[in-house]
Structure 1
Amino acid sequence: MYKKGLHSLFLALLVVISITRSTEFVFAQSGVDQLRSGEAFQGVLNNLDNRLQNGSFADYYRFSGEAGEEIQLDLYSAAFDTYLTLTSPSGRFVDNDDAAGSKSHSQLRLSLPETGEYKITVSSYLPRKTGIYSIVFTKIMNDQTRRGMSAQQERDVASKSPSTGRVFGLFIGISDYNGRAPNLSYTAQDAQVVRQAMLTGLGMSPSHGLVLTDRQATESNFQRAMYQFSKEMTPNDVFILFFSGHGFRVKRHSFQTQDPDGFDETLELYDGTILDDELDVLLGMIPSKTQIIVIDACFSGGFAKDIISRPNRMGLFSSEEDLESNVASQFRAGGYLSYLFAEGVKEARADLNRDNIITALELSQYVQNRFQDVSAQIPASVSVSDPNYISMQRLVVDRGSIRPNDVLFFK
């Protein structure tokens, strides 16, 4: 969302964030820490850490594994170019610098070659780089793992399967920008409405849904909330990130394949900016079965290229990457996507076949069809970013790797 006539002012006020250390979290020390499957662990590389031969600082972790077990390690940081190394009990090692070309993400996935204690080395590609990071260790179920389990253990795993995972959500809405951007109508209310819809319609636990509105929706509070979710959630859970407020675009200084148009998209918080690449890193820290990203903001469709390209993520965006979004005043909502998403889950209206589950395709179809119903009421407007053409809002729904019949929610 963006109001006319304030383009120059708003652009001048944009700032790019970097993730900073928060004293409210427990971080890894420079010693060797035991990792447990399904947990995200936060740490900080600093000049007191061990130093590798190339001058990079390093932290070490360990876990016990058995030959044939399939595991995955993910290392994320917005502060440095990540480098991940796994050393086997006999001293053999594998490493990874950039997962899928991302300098902020390293990943190793393999079947363990031997039984014993493995060592993980977290470091940076370039020497003497410091900053916060998150590492996630996951043991992946396979046929060999199941053969070694008792019937009770299998039942325990089944009870935590994706279909019965918990639902967590971070709901952000900003109407009052305290002068750094034009104020918006109803957007703070959107966050409250969508959270309540999740509680009423899908039975989300109140303790699992956090709302940040207006002056609460700062960069530090946003980062702190994401880190807290990364500590509380497991790979069987579902995570929803909802945002209603200003979005904008900033010119990139270098080419990136995910952004062939040369722009990054942003979420405008109360006191700063989150870039699409930075949001990708924060989401990557959260262990989850499925992540559903709902962004009701101008230019939000551009987030799909940077975020939904990761596995197990689905995105619903209020406009294409070069178009703006409108306020849904007739519904007393900050945006049409906010209103329709809440409508779809509050009374499980998105459960189109009434079987008490909402699949990815059902949610997509519901939102898209309802948008067609109300689109005649959406006014065309002259674009702020290019006054030479008329801006027509169009929703973007990108399921990424989520299959049509994958279950998102149980009623």
Structure 2
Amino acid sequence: MNAFEIYGGKKLKGEIVPQGAKNEALQILSAVLLTSEKMTISNIPDIKDVNKLIELLVELGVNVARLNKDTYTFQAKDINIDYFQSAEFKTKGGGLRGSIMIVGPLLARFGKAAIPKPGGDKIGRRRLDTHFIGFEKLGAKFNYDADNHFFQVDATNLKGSYILLDEASVTGTANIVMAAVLAKGTTTIYNAACEPYLQQLCKMLNRMGANISGIGSNLLTIEGVDSLSGTTHRMLPDMIEIGSFIGLAAMTGSEITIKDVHFEELGIIPTVFSRLGIKLERRGDDIYIPAQDSYEIETFIDGSILTISDAPWPGFTPDLLSIVLVVATQAKGNVLIHQKMFESRLFFVDKLIDMGAQIILCDPHRATVIGLNNAFKLKGIEMTSPDIRAGVSLLIAALSAQGRSVIYNIEQIERGYQHIDERLLALGAQIRRIEGKPLH
């Protein structure tokens, strides 16, 4: 098992470029199945989850060519629908949560699809009902084999429909949109997710010949078309990486410039970090974070403790709550972190407590952080990464801590962050990859 060995307590300095957006990539790459024409996609992140999806597309029969380190062409001209029934597909599809995203495009173009129950982070229940209820509203019929954890979906005649989503699911909205673009008639999706990544998908589909209106709102209207053509598309930078690097700079007291962030697409993210007392400055399309010896958490106007919680876009993304929590451990002041969406995402705080952080885990969804104001530095320990975001939070903690830390199960981190050790080394971090496994 690979691990990261980190000697923390060192100030970093320099520029870092965020990778392409992981969550956008899983949608955009699935959408190449909607056309037989060539698609050129750039700024694709070189991470395990994305690479696994590209491998799955190849196995399905998509012709994939890599033009350079982050740009590929895709042509889904000869798709092998029978691949769904293979044992290999059940293994590969089940190991990647993003594999659910291929169902909508396959239903739209070929009228059927199948998918094993996808894997992913162990962060609580992540139901797929929104996807399948939407498909059913469009006329699809599905069967779930509980013994083999396998979904079979048939949709030989998709028709537009009014769909009111019970949750503003990003992947659910994207999947239903991709199914609806080739359906007959008009589809209306209310309570649709409106994240920048979904906007990117809709804009790309329109360039391919789709007819989608209401982009950026929670009410999407899709007029079905007969076919789609190829196009080119460039991914946004990953907003979760950008938030992670803001947190890294604050925790380590470092002067860091984050390049080419597409600032207008970051929504409330810079504001939330500013409320933790972190100084950041927009310079063109870069974010400059000066070295700070301390940062103070704001209170509400009446003086009560600040609460930071997740919410559908344009609210604060749940993927950054783990980062906010770890950054708050060395702030001046207190904050309540309320993770509404996933009931297991805060369970990594035991590692931070072992490092010396003062955190009260109120319940599976809420944690109160009592900031140490850098008066007591975290201490290095050995720990295991439970999921992508918690793993990076622990990595940030280790980089700020005194002494040696080892993080095991870094495969989880590398599912979402490309070449993270190399990029941190370029900033001056003392980090290296080692072989080893935890004692417990």
TM-score normalised per structure 2: 0.29
Higher strand share: 1
Structure with larger RCO (C-alpha < 8 A, sep 6+): 2
TM-score normalised per structure 1: 0.30
